[in-house]
Structure 1
Amino acid sequence: MEGLRERGFARYGAEQLGIVPAGSAAKDLARIREVFAALPPDPYAPGANRFRRYSHAVYLPWKDELSWIPGTPDPVHGTVTDFSQGEDDPRYPRKRRVLPDIPEALRGNALLLRLLRWDIEQVLSMKNLGSRPLWAGVHLIRLGVDRPGQDAVSSPNCLHQDGGSASTFTFAHLISRTNVTGGQNVIATPGSAGLQPEDPWADVHAEFTLTDPLDGYAVHDHRVSHYVGPVRAGSEPGPGERSILIVGLAPYVPQL
């Protein structure tokens, strides 16, 4: 992916992914959307109209093997996984959190696995990581609004970096977008982290809005900052939502 290599960010859609959203892929996408529709509220942001699940996986390049890491038993959600926003979230500095796991039934979804493997291929083509496990943080996020005047906010609500190493990458894949406005993505310089895109000191590279299923973008974390704006109810009656799959990839770092 040349844009990711040259500029630190790139956009793509279903065509670049090599996925035709019909037939079995359409059925798999429908199953993914069912899980998004039932996501639990973000326990750390009451009132933000944000819903999420999160799990870890590890990829062994020498075996071409992707394996989900079991979560920790939890009386409310069944299992949960540790989630770190990183030091770059000004509201949650160095705070340990746990989020409900991705359901076991979804972990074998062929389309989900295809997206994960596509992301991994892009990273392996850029970095010499074939001798180390690759760590994946897989995040399901839905911003949902029920009525006019309501908005749903992502986290962190500013230009930010994910706080990883020079080999950390983040991929986003739009799952659905229905009856909402807003949700604009912004890519800026690392020095713009902590600012709002409209701040005069923000140095913005690109602004765009994901609209079609499987539209997406990727960022090389230490080379850019990124942001997604709040979503608000659209003009049609009924609720609105923006559902997105976020995949963070980084080489596994031994702890001993």
Structure 2
Amino acid sequence: MSRLKDTGFAYYDLKKQLQYEDLEKDLQQLTLAFDHLPIDEYAPHLNRYRRYARAIIMPKTYDIQWLPESTVNKKSYYEYFQGSFNPEYTGEYRRFPSLKKETMNNRLLEKIIRFDFKETFWMREDALMPFHAGVHFVKLQVDDEGEEAVSSPNNLHQDGEPFTFAHLIKRHNIQGGWNAISHPANRGKMPEDINKADMKASFYLEEPLESYGVYDPLVTHYVSKVKTGEKQGPGERCAILIDFQPTVIANPDEVRSMRGNTTEMVFV
């Protein structure tokens, strides 16, 4: 039985489920990657830091191939688009700094991507083509008492990709970072504004590689603001978010490159 397929939500402990000899070494490398995340330039006041990369993964073989980055002012980026699903950036492309090559080549990251993908399920026609994987490294960091770090969007939401998985890498000296799972009807609401009976799950991710996955059509999800904890010094919550969507043969009426506006088109 798949809890993800039945309820739209599943919890995982990948430290137990992905055991291999060098796991701790590879986890340490991923943890260090969060020390060098740039500020999210779309919300520099919200104490959010991130990098992003895009890959394709093949059905059956599970081969992973990282897609080429865009280069702007000699810096590497990947584009990200959620259509209408993020009310803070409706219809807006965002450009995030790319993951470092050594991070993309990390064996634990590849195992996480494959694990997540094997949890997904698709219509037969969707499964004829490679699948797109978006890999976000997101850190919520607070340096001083009274500061808050905020995820986006800051409400119960859906992402617009069929599947999203969240993997905690580090949680240090913070309050908050509470996760909530509810029904699609509560999209756009705050957890405190819905009936308790509508809360499908609520929990904290506390240990490295504690994880959860959602099937977007069946649920909404949320993570609360982060504040400094009881110890002196800064606090942070570091997580890897991985989403999946199919690369189907699209309806010609919905493909922007079929609209004839060649002035905005580029060669590949």
**TM-score with structure 2 setting the length:** 0.88
* Distance in structure 1 (CA, Å) of the matches to 2:15 and 2:105: 23
* Distance in structure 1 (CA, Å) of the matches to 2:61 and 2:212: 27
Unaligned ranges ≥5, structure 1: none
* Matched residue, 1:71: 69
Cα drift, residue 127 of structure 1: 5.5
Structure holding more helix per residue: 2
Cα drift, residue 85 of structure 1: 3.3
User: Contact 1:62–1:131 (CA<8 Å) still a contact in 2?
Assistant: no
* Matched residue, 2:174: 180
Output aligned runs, 1:45-194, within 5 Å.
45-75=43-73, 78-124=75-121, 128=124, 130-164=127-161, 168-194=162-188
User: Contact 2:15–2:208 (CA<8 Å) still a contact in 1?
Assistant: no
User: Contact 1:177–1:212 (CA<8 Å) still a contact in 2?
Assistant: yes
Q: Secondary structure at the match of 1:47?
A: helix
Q: Summarize the Cα distance change of 1:154–1:30 in structure 2 as closer, same or farther, 3 Å threshold.
A: same
Aligned pair partner of 1:25 in 23, 26, 46: 23
How many residues are aligned here? Answer: 249
Aligned sequence identity (%): 39
Aligned pair partner of 2:201 in 176, 200, 206: 206
* Distance in structure 1 (CA, Å) of the matches to 2:224 and 2:93: 25
Cα drift, residue 207 of structure 1: 0.7
* Matched residue, 1:216: 211
**TM-score with structure 1 setting the length:** 0.92
* Distance in structure 2 (CA, Å) of the matches to 1:28 and 1:18: 12
* Matched residue, 1:11: 11
Cα drift, residue 16 of structure 1: 5.3
* Distance in structure 2 (CA, Å) of the matches to 1:74 and 1:215: 35
* Matched residue, 1:42: 40
Q: Which runs of 4+ in 1 moved over 2 A?
A: 14-20, 126-131, 200-203, 253-256
* Distance in structure 2 (CA, Å) of the matches to 1:120 and 1:200: 31
RMSD: 1.8
Unaligned ranges ≥5, structure 2: 253-268
Correspondence 1:229 to 2:224: yes
* Distance in structure 2 (CA, Å) of the matches to 1:143 and 1:224: 23
